Amino acid sequence: MNLRKTLLGLALILPATLAQAHEYEVGQLHIDHPWSRALPPVAPTAAAYFVVHNKGSEADRLLGASTPVAGKAELHEHVHQDGVMKMQQVQDVAIPAGGEVKFEPMGYHVMLFNLKQQARNGERFPLTLTFEKAGSVEVEVAVQQEAPAGHDHAVGHDAGKHQH
């Protein structure tokens, strides 16, 4: 392999490496590392996770999400009911003033239905989040095998259970 090819290869790899941490700002909100777990191509749904920090003194609410890669996106939560974990749709998610809300496996998540195609590990797809006060922001969801650092407690007990 000549040097030029090597450099070209590095240039292609670099953005994926930098993708390890990516974040967004909208109004008083800070959105940290949107990600989705890489799933088999036949999986009918996917879920997106991220952390929303509210740096303002006013509470906000996440009202909904949309993405061109799925026919439908819903806000979901996991609940314990009669000793069973299950998912249910929620109309909105409150983001308290000065607080943060984690969207993570076994917690709140954006559920994606009617996927045109299951995203592959290392890919990214756009997701628009709409907040009551801060408005809308388009983020890129990084598709990866493992939960990001700091979310490792979730690895292992959510794999394979994320089904409707």
Applying CB under 5 A, does 76 fall inside the site for Cu ion?
Answer: yes
57/97 Cα distance (integer angstroms): 5
Q: How far is the CB of 97 from Cu ion (least distance, A)?
A: 27
Choose between 28 and 67: whose C-beta lies nearer to Cu ion: 67
Applying CB under 5 A, does 87 fall inside the site for Cu ion?
Answer: yes
- Alpha-carbon Rg for the chain in angstroms: 17
**Which tokens is 108 given?**
């709140």
What are phi and psi for residue 24, nearest 5 degrees?
-140, 155
SS3 100: strand
The region of 11-19, 29-37, 61-69, 76-84 touching Cu ion under the rule CB under 5 A is 76-84
Applying CB under 5 A, does 37 fall inside the site for Cu ion?
Answer: no
**Which tokens is 138 given?**
């388009």
The region of 27-35, 48-56, 72-80, 125-133 touching Cu ion under the rule CB under 5 A is 72-80
Asked if residues 76 and 64 have their Cβ atoms less than 8 Å apart, the reply is: no
Residue list 95-114, contact with Cu ion (CB under 5 A): 111
Residues that bind Cu ion (CB under 5 A): 76, 87, 111
